[in-house]
Structure 1
Amino acid sequence: MTTMVPPLAVDIDGTLSRADRSIDPRALDALREWPGPVVIATGKALPFPVALSQFIGIQARVIAENGGISIVDDELLVHGDRAAADAVVQEYEAAGYDLGWGSLDLANRWRETEIAVSLDSPLDPLTTIAEAHGLEVVDTGFAYHVKSPTVSKGRALVEVADRLDVDPASFLAIGDSENDVGMFETAGVSYAVGNADESAKRTADAVTDGSYADGFLEALEKASR
């Protein structure tokens, strides 16, 4: 009897990576060999998952900026509002705080729908200012993301699944962070890798024994049984 392989939605940082954030090459091979559709879902700016997909050799089906922007089958879907996030940053900087990325700021250079702030920068004033502007701050474990509360990986996954003509609940989702919670709630089966934060672990259907890419590979193996 042949097991149907589900479409896959997977995070990058902390899920396909090692602890030092470098990508584990075993994860790239596993994504290329996965027989169903693969959606890379990340908090990174759009060029990063697009480039990753190209280097892996899979079709660029991506959710970026925590659901603020996505690409599926050559269609660009935009859900977030960079101008609103910029207003928060202006007030944050006027209060004497810094985004923490240095003058070049590669974290935000190509970001279109939100702003990322270094974890070394003060969180409390950022949260207060964001809330005053009707936005929220999400801690992905790698940065604080200032974004619309209506934007999430889960909502974007619904849009992507519609374009792929598949049920969002048919997806297998794998991730490690608070920003993966919406994706876990949308997908039919979800795994948090062993290094995941508590919100991801609470929401996921299962938590892997392995951490980082080891956990990702473990989840794939269990899901394809």
Structure 2
Amino acid sequence: MVPPLALDIDGTLTTPTGRIDSRVFELLPSWEAPVVFATGKAFPYPVALAHFLGRDEHVVAENGGVTYVDGETTLLGDPDAAWAVVETFRERGGDIGWGDGDTVNRWRETEVAVSIDADEALLREVAAAAGDVEVVDTGYAYHVKSPDVSKGRALRTAAATLGIEPASFVAVGDSENDVSTFGVVGESYAVANADAAAREAADVVLEESYMDGTAGVLADLRARDASSRD
């Protein structure tokens, strides 16, 4: 059988312009093992992706702050501490960068995301002074979160609910928030556009970027499965 998957979304299932690559809708609906979407995005986004793919809603969201598997939701982290840092950041002249609507954080339950164009130095200074949060750069936003929350820890929770060993999973990702995932799965891949932390942590750094790299991994896993049956 093909292995279960732990897949990041942004930078991994997308095009360079940030759109979901159409091959996601060709390759993932028929994958014969569980797929966990592990992302820094707010809870509704990966749930919607799973829904429109016709897959079970197996989700790690908000960098591990939310785990949702088989109807069971687990929330970790301290959103109040994250918001306190953001409010201090604003008081000191910082701008989180999303405008009045801020749909980026509207449904976020365990952390706060700040625009990648924000004053990173000031944000990190305020977070360091608070002492009970950390700032993670995913390449798409700065995430203010509890330091004990991670995608890897959340994947362990998801795997236990599914009755699958974490080491059975294959993971694909592109940034430092995927490092903890790579540490708990049996096989990990960083797409070519990955940041230095993800590249260092992955078992394999792919030659192709974005969904090109991920599609290649899925093809190789299918070929491996077919060969094992011969």
Interval containing the TM-score (normalised by the shorter chain): over 0.9
Match of 1:148 among 146, 149, 158: 146
Q: Which residue matches 1:71?
A: 68
Q: Which residue matches 1:120?
A: 117
Deviation, 1:222, is: 2.2
Deviation, 1:28, is: 2.5
Amino acid of the structure 2 residue aligned with 1:85: A
Q: Which residue matches 1:187?
A: 185
Structure 2: segments with no counterpart, 5+ residues: 225-230
Could you list the per-position Cα deviations for residues 166-212 of structure 1 after superposition, in whole angstroms to 9, with x for gaps in the alignment?
Answer: 11111000011110000011111000111111110110000111110
Separation in 2, partners of 1:29, 1:41: 19
Is the counterpart of residue 85 in structure 1 residue 82 in structure 2? yes
CA contact (8 A) 1:27 1:216 kept: no
Amino acid of the structure 1 residue aligned with 2:65: G
Pairwise mapping of residues 26-37 of structure 1 onto structure 2 (< 5 A)? 26-37=23-34
Q: Which residue matches 2:228?
A: none
Q: Which residue matches 2:48?
A: 51
| TM-score, normalisation: structure 2 | 0.95
Q: SS in structure 1 opposite 2:10?
A: coil
Is the counterpart of residue 13 in structure 1 residue 10 in structure 2? yes
Separation in 1, partners of 2:217, 2:124: 34
Q: Which residue matches 1:196?
A: 194
Could you list the per-position Cα deviations for residues 43-77 of structure 1 after superposition, in whole angstroms to 9, with x for gaps in the alignment?
Answer: 00000000111111100000000000010000001
Separation in 2, partners of 1:218, 1:29: 13
Please identify runs of 4+ aligned residues in structure 1 that moved more than 6 A: none
Q: SS in structure 2 opposite 1:138?
A: strand
User: Could you tell which deviates more after superposition, 124-133 or 94-103?
Assistant: 124-133
CA RMSD across the alignment: 0.8
Is the counterpart of residue 62 in structure 1 residue 59 in structure 2? yes
Separation in 2, partners of 1:209, 1:33: 25
CA contact (8 A) 1:191 1:204 kept: yes
Separation in 2, partners of 1:25, 1:139: 26
Q: Which residue matches 1:99?
A: 96
* Count of aligned positions: 222
Could you list the per-position Cα deviations for residues 144-168 of structure 1 after superposition, in whole angstroms to 9, with x for gaps in the alignment?
Answer: 0000110000000000001011111
Match of 2:217 among 205, 216, 219: 219
Q: Which residue matches 2:161?
A: 163
CA contact (8 A) 1:11 1:180 kept: yes
Separation in 2, partners of 1:212, 1:198: 15
Deviation, 1:223, is: 2.7
Amino acid of the structure 2 residue aligned with 1:196: A
